[in-house]
Amino acid sequence: MKSREFYVTQTIAHVVCGLFALFALLPFVLLIVASFTENSWANANGYAFFPGAWSLDAYRYIAVQWGTIGRAYLMTVVVTAVGTTLSILMTTLFAYAISQRDVPGMKILSFMMVFTMLFNGGLVATYYSYVNFFHIRNTVWALVVPNLLMGAFSVILVRNYFTNSIPYSLIEAARLDGASEFGIFGRVVMPLSIPIVATIGLMTGLAYWNNWENGMYYLTERGGGNLYTIQIVLNNINENIQALQTSASVTGNMNIKMPSTTVRMAIATIGILPILIIYPFFQRYFVKGITLGGVKE
């Protein structure tokens, strides 16, 4: 039988976890409520969980300006899908290579990978290389390639998962059966690695979805304005609320006055909706992948 102390401990733990979950949820609730708040009331009183006046003006404005915002939303989806797919492919291939035993040079590659976690070339050198040698400025690759393609942290997680969770005897048996390395990787290793792949996929996807710095560095309004993602548009609004008003005057969509305060909240709400919808499906893999990938032999 379970003791009274056990039930007390479990109750306290559930209460504490519930409070932390509530504290994490409240900002999202406030964000959504603020997006439905009347703009003049928000300007006068700030954001509140129970505003004195409600309005759909922010979403009406987004509907009117969907040519600009919708294109940015689509670009965000495309960049996130392409970047996450490439990142998972490169990360898992690299992690599989350095997880192999008795292969010459793997320790050197592992050291070089860890070295990048401590030192990098700096912003100036990185910017110069991408712009002058790789010529990614004002192209869609400016949103995919820099900074986020492959991280050493993700590689370490995947390598540890391969080492600790996939029996090496299984790989040796596949080799004895005549399977190639790519065949082993695709038919043996990857089907057994769904938790860690979902984990790094979720982290990388979030990074791509929320990234706006690459657009600030490598996209110009004249040459790359049609490549702006939703986060770049939102950042432009935060820095200069006239951004969408100027766009509206150019396109002739002046049917509604821009609710400058609440439209930020409305765009942010639309921006986080896919994450809120997708995360529950990945959550169980995320916990398992972090737990197993973070263990070192």
Q: What is residue 297's predicted lDDT score, i.e. its pLDDT?
A: 47
Chunk the chain into consecutive blocks of 10 residues (it has 297) and report each block's average pLDDT, rounded to whole numbers: 76 90 88 87 83 85 78 87 90 86 77 77 79 85 78 83 83 84 86 85 86 83 75 72 54 54 81 78 60 48
Q: Quick one: tokens of 122?
A: 């700096």
**Residue whose structure tokens are 């759909």:** 56
Q: Quick one: tokens of 267?
A: 């765009």
The radius of gyration computed from the CA coordinates of the chain, to the nearest angstrom, equals 24
Look at residues 109, 69, 114, 71 and name the one whose alpha carbon lies nearest to residue 93.
Answer: 109
Q: What is residue 256's predicted lDDT score, i.e. its pLDDT?
A: 47
Q: What is residue 66's predicted lDDT score, i.e. its pLDDT?
A: 78
Residue 256 is given by DSSP the state S
Query: Which amino acid, 132?
Result: N
Q: What is residue 19's predicted lDDT score, i.e. its pLDDT?
A: 92
Residues 6 or more apart whose Cβ sits within 8 Å of residue 207: 148
For 42, the enclosing helix (H) or strand (E) is: helix 39-45
Instruction: Map out the domains of the chain as residue ranges.
Output: 63-293
Q: Which fold has domain 63-293?
A: MetI-like fold (1.10.3720)
d(CA 200, CA 187): 20
User: What's the pTM value of the predicted model, to 2 decimals?
Assistant: 0.75
